[in-house]
């Protein structure tokens, strides 16, 4: 098995082959013998040259993280044989900017109307989650082109709340 | 003794009370909203009844529905937990009218203490020292401006019915006052169903220390030692400990005696907490009395060896306190972490969602009071408190070491939690030295995070682990390949806001 793994922004080449009861790894060309057991889903016990590690895997729709002890590492795993496009999305700083909900919640108030001029950092609407009211602010100076949810609407993390241009 | 008790609450505190009842051989009745059908308290109780939609005002705050369940199930008493109806005198009165015992103080004591404005008026009469401000709610922005000018900025706006930092705002000057008043009133209305807000002079960076009291219905009142609760964010307690690192036995006795005087002035019965602000000269001022069991009661239980919920139930059933003040002694040290569903990388905003993995700490000196389990979806409709992790040691240092070890074992995935925050607090030199005040946590968060950065050995282990997971668990293999994290405009904005807030 051959993978390209990006950990904390740095790319590594990883080869894994069965070797007896364990695995022979080649990480960026370096040979390492690894014993690996998956005691339950998302938990991996690794022994590398006598050192034991408990690794926890956390997956969301957009991210993959490996926890080594109490440290969290953002990881991307790719099969180099796949033809998947590797270019990440880029955000245009100048054009319209979407404001998305940072957490699920309920819209309790709109602070401006559509087509209003707003300053950077000016509040656009208020979302309540778990009894906290959080003001969602404009990331840039411009015109509020659209406010998507109505007062009382329930929003999920990542939903577009407003567009400022 | 009661045969059956209804628990008018949810989450970890409902589970805590159900456990005490089971230990005492008392049957339990849970109530739940639509979104709480899968919640842990429903699974632990002997009986469970639905009381309506997710919104608390239509379920956990509905006195009529809860009393209807009490009648139908034949419960003789109601334990209100904390939050929701726990400090609602109308509820206590409605229970009394229905012939159901409310496990807590009388409606009269609650009215006297439950409204902070009324408590201030009564304590003034009883000669208890308190912080200057208005003793009545504010009716207009103009009135607020006059009152603030009189006591001098900075001032604190507080919900009269408040607690837990809801409906509370620190105001530095006149320009901020109107907006702060409106948002405090609106938050107070949605949290407590009462928008009364008053003004108090803000004591800058005080300590927040509270004293547990217990009173039976035969005139006996005792104090059970203090809890240091200075570590707060947005006026919400985050970590509490007992005893306080700055309180010696003489100060403890003096605070205890004032707390007993406060309780007696209110004819108080059952468990209660007298909160004090303590200034840098160790003067203490009465802040308010919480007429309920506190979230942080376990640190008192561990240091006194008492079970406060058992005692609450025994007092409510008419028993006398089984000990006197002279029998109370403080042993060792206990520290509690409030595990919240919030995102440390996103200014600690709430993070409801499904718990996909939960690894639990255990071992010597560790107690967990929890309302969560793996596979449960944390609803967005309630307070973000998931669980409490409490350590107990022979001294403060051992309690810290045990807690650090337990936090190393604790792991929650699927939702974000503040577990990493506790690691940071516990290794901080000022925390370890006991140098705390209510500004402590904001100062800590304003400092660069001293968490060790990417370690080359661990980076390699993470890379190997990612590959091993893909090989050993192919069903979930490389679903994430190429998933670029979208640099959302709002995200950096939240971080900026967080930094700005932390610097205040």
CATH number of the domain at A38, please: 3.30.700.30
Cβ of B462 and A7 within 8 Å? yes
Contacts of A8 in chain B (CB under 8 A): 454, 459, 462
**Active-site amino acid positions of B:** 292
Question: What angle, 0 to 180 degrees and rounded to 10, lies between the N-to-C axes of helices B174-192 and B141-151?
Answer: 120
Last residue of a domain, one of A78, A108, A134: A78
List chain B residues with CB under 8 Å of A84. 481-482
Virtual CA dihedral for B5, B9, B15, B18, nearest 10 degrees?
0
Residues in chain A with CB shorter than 8 Å from the CB of B476 are: 59
User: What distance in Å separates residue A86's CA from the closest CA in chain B?
Assistant: 6
Q: pLDDT grade, residue A96 (50/70/90)?
A: confident
Calculate mean pLDDT across residues B212-237. Answer: 96
The answer to whether position A86 is within a domain reads: no
- The answer to whether residues A24 and A51 belong to one domain is yes
**Is A87 part of a structural domain of the chain?**
no
Task: Write the DSSP assignment of A86-118 as a string of letters.
Answer: -PPP---SSS-EEEE-SS-EEEEEE-S-TT-EE
Q: Which of A51, A78, A105 is the last residue of a domain?
A: A78
| Residue B243: cis peptide before it, omega within 30 degrees of 0 | yes
Given a cut of 50, whether residue B233 has pLDDT beyond it is yes
My answer on whether A72 and A7 are in the same domain is yes
- Measured distance CA(B229)–CA(B209) in Å, rounded: 6
Mean pLDDT of B113-138: 83
| CB nearest B461 (choices: A3, A48, A161) | A48
Mean of all residue pLDDT scores within chain A:
86
Q: Tell whether A104 and A57 lie within a shared domain.
A: no
The pLDDT of residue B448 is above 50: yes
User: Of A42, A79, A104, which has the smallest distance from its Cβ to B352's Cβ?
Assistant: A104
Same domain assignment for residues A104 and A60:
no
What pLDDT sits at residue B502? 43
- Predicted pLDDT of residue B366: 98
Asked whether residue A55 falls in the same domain as residue A115, the answer is no
Summarised one tens digit per residue, pLDDT across range B197-214 is 999 988 888 999 999 999
In a domain, A135, yes or no: yes
Residue at A89 is within a domain: no
In a domain, A83, yes or no: no
Is the CB of B468 less than 8 angstroms away from the CB of A36? yes
Is the confidence at residue B493, as pLDDT, over 70? Answer: no
* Interface membership of B482 toward A (CB under 8 Å): yes
* pLDDT attached to residue B271: 98
pLDDT at position A82: 62
pTM listed for this prediction:
0.82
pLDDT of residue B487: 33
Q: Are residues A41 and A102 in the same domain?
A: no
The predicted-structure confidence for B238-259, as pLDDT tens digits, reads as follows 999 999 999 999 999 999 999 9
Residue of A nearest to B341 (CA): A130
Which ipTM value was assigned to this complex?
Answer: 0.77
Q: Is the pLDDT of residue A85 over 90?
A: no
Whether B479 shows a pLDDT value over 90: the answer reads no
H or E element in which residue A17 lies: strand A10-19
Nearest to B480 among A14, A77, A86 (CB): A77
> CATH no. for residue A120?
2.40.50.100
> What's the gap between Cα B341 and its chain centre?
14
Q: B191 CA to chain A: closest CA distance, Å?
A: 7
* pLDDT confidence of residue A51: 95
Do A56 and A6 sit in the same domain of this protein? Answer: yes
Statement to judge: residues A71 and A103 lie in one domain:
no
Q: Which residues of B366-404 are buried (b: 16+ CB within 10 A; e: fewer)?
A: bbbbbbbeeebebbbbbbbbbbbbbbbbeebebbbebbe
Asked if the structure places residue A85 within a domain, the reply is: no
Q: Which residue of A has its CA nearest to B347?
A: A102
pLDDT at B489: 36
Pair A67, A111 in one domain: no
Nearest residue in B to A37, CA atom: B472
B467 touches chain A (CB under 8 A): yes
Q: Does B475 touch chain A (CB under 8 A)?
A: no
Q: Which of A78, A106, A121 is the last residue of a domain?
A: A78
**Position B497 confidence tier, pLDDT thresholds 50, 70, 90:** very low
Q: What is the pLDDT of residue B375?
A: 96
pLDDT of A157 > 90? The answer is: no
Q: Which pLDDT band, with edges at 50, 70 and 90, does B475 fall under?
A: low
Q: Could you tell me which of A109, A105, A115 has the C-alpha nearest to residue A146? A: A115
Confidence of residue B484 (pLDDT cuts 50, 70, 90): very low
Q: Which of A4-8, B130-134, B208-212, B328-332 has the lowest mean pLDDT?
A: B130-134
Mean pLDDT of B230-245: 94
Asked if B190 has any chain A CB less than 8 Å from its own CB, the reply is yes
**Mean pLDDT over each residue of chain B, to the nearest integer:** 91
What is the tens place of the pLDDT at every residue in B305-318? 999 999 999 999 99
What is the set of domains in chain B, with CATH numbers? 4-103 (3.40.50.20), 132-201 (3.30.1490.20), 207-446 (3.30.470.20), 461-504 (no CATH)
- HEC string of B453-474 equals CCCHHHHHHHHHHHHHHHHHCH
In a domain, A51, yes or no: yes
Pairing of β B155-159 and β B197-201 = antiparallel
B228 Cα distance to chain centroid: 13
Per-residue pLDDT tens digits for B323-363: 999 999 999 999 999 999 999 888 888 888 999 999 999 99
Structure confidence by residue, pLDDT tens digits, B39-73: 999 999 999 999 999 999 999 999 999 999 999 99
Of B383, B384, B464, the CB nearest to A25: B464
Task: Scan for tokens 């370690």, then name that residue.
Answer: B455
- Chain A's closest residue to B351, CA to CA, is A103
Which range of A125-139, B152-166, B402-416 scores highest in mean pLDDT? It is: B402-416
Residues A43 and A109 in one domain: no
In chain B, which residue's Cα lies nearest the Cα of A55? B465
Helix intervals (H) in B98-154: 107-114, 116-126, 141-151
Is residue A108 assigned to a domain?
A: yes
Same domain, yes or no, for A70 and A115? no
Is A19 in the same domain as A71? yes
Residue range of the domain that includes A153: 97-164
Q: Averaged over B26-41, what is the pLDDT?
A: 98
Determine, for residues B190 and A128 on separate chains, whether the beta-carbon distance falls below 8 Å: yes
**Domain count along chain A:** 2
Who among B459, B469, B494 is closest to A102 (CB)? B494
């Amino acid at each position: 098995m051959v993978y390209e793994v990006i950990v904390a922004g740095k790319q590594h080449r990883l080869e894994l082959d069965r070797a007896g009861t364990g695995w022979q790894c080649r990480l960026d060309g370096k040979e390492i013998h690894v014993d690996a057991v998956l005691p339950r889903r998302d938990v991996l016990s690794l022994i590398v040259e006598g050192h034991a590690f408990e690794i926890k895997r956390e997956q969301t729709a957009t991210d993959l993280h490996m926890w080594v002890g109490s440290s969290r590492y953002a990881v991307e795993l790719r099969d180099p044989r796949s033809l998947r496009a590797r270019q990440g999305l880029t955000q245009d700083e100048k054009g319209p900017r979407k404001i998305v909900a940072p957490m699920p919640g309920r819209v309790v108030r709109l602070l401006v109307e559509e087509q209003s001029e707003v300053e950077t950092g000016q509040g656009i609407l208020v979302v309540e989650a778990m009894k906290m009211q959080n003001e969602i602010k404009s990331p840039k100076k411009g015109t509020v082109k659209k406010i998507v949810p109505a007062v009382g609407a329930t929003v999920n993390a990542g939903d577009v709340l407003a567009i400022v241009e | 003794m009661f045969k059956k008790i209804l628990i008018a609450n949810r989450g970890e505190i409902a589970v805590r009370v159900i456990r005490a009842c089971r230990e005492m051989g008392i049957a339990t009745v849970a109530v739940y909203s639509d979104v709480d059908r899968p919640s842990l308290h429903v699974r632990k109780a002997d009986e469970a009844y639905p009381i309506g939609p997710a919104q608390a005002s239509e379920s956990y705050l509905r006195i009529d529905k809860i009393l209807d369940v009490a009648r139908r199930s034949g419960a003789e008493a109601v334990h209100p937990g904390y939050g929701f109806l726990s400090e609602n005198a109308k509820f206590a009165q409605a229970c009394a009218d229905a012939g159901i015992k409310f496990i807590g103080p009388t409606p009269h004591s609650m009215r006297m203490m439950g409204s902070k404005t009324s408590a201030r008026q009564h304590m003034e009469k009883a000669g208890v020292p308190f912080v200057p401000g208005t003793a009545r709610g504010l009716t207009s922005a103009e009135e607020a401006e006059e009152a603030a000018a009189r006591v001098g900025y900075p001032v604190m706006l507080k919900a009269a019915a408040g607690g837990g930092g809801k409906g509370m705002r620190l105001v530095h000057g006149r320009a901020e006052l109107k907006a702060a008043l409106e948002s405090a009133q609106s938050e107070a209305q949605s949290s407590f169903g009462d928008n009364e807000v008053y003004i108090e002079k803000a004591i800058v960076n005080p300590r927040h220390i509270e004293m547990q009291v217990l009173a039976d219905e035969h005139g006996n009142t005792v104090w059970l030692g203090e809890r240091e609760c200075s570590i707060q964010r947005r006026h919400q307690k985050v970590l509490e400990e007992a005893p306080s690192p700055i309180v010696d036995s003489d100060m403890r006795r003096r605070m205890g005696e004032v707390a007993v005087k406060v309780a007696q002035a209110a004819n108080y019965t059952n468990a209660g907490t007298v909160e004090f602000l303590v200034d840098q000269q160790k003067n203490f001022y009465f802040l308010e009395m919480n007429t309920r069991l506190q979230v942080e009661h376990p640190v008192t239980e561990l240091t006194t060896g008492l079970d406060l919920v058992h005692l609450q139930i025994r007092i409510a059933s008419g028993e006398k306190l089984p000990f006197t003040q002279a029998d109370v002694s403080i042993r060792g040290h206990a520290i509690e972490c409030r595990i919240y569903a919030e995102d440390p990388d996103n200014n600690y905003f709430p993070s409801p969602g499904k718990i996909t993995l939960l690894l639990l700490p255990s071992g010597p000196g560790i107690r967990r009071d929890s309302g969560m389990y793996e596979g449960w979806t944390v609803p967005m409709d309630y307070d973000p408190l998931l669980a409490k992790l409490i350590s107990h040691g022979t001294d403060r240092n051992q309690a810290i070491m045990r807690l650090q070890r337990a936090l190393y074992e604790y792991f929650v995935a699927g939702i974000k939690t503040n577990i990493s925050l506790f690691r940071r607090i516990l290794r901080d030199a000022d925390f370890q030295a006991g140098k705390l005040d209510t500004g402590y946590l904001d100062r800590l968060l304003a400092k660069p995070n001293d968490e060790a950065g990417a370690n080359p050995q661990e980076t390699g282990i993470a890379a190997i682990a990612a590959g091993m997971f893909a090989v050993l668990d192919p069903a979930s293999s490389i679903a994430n390949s190429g998933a670029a994290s979208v640099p959302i405009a709002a995200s950096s904005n939240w971080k900026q806001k967080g930094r700005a807030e932390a610097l205040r």
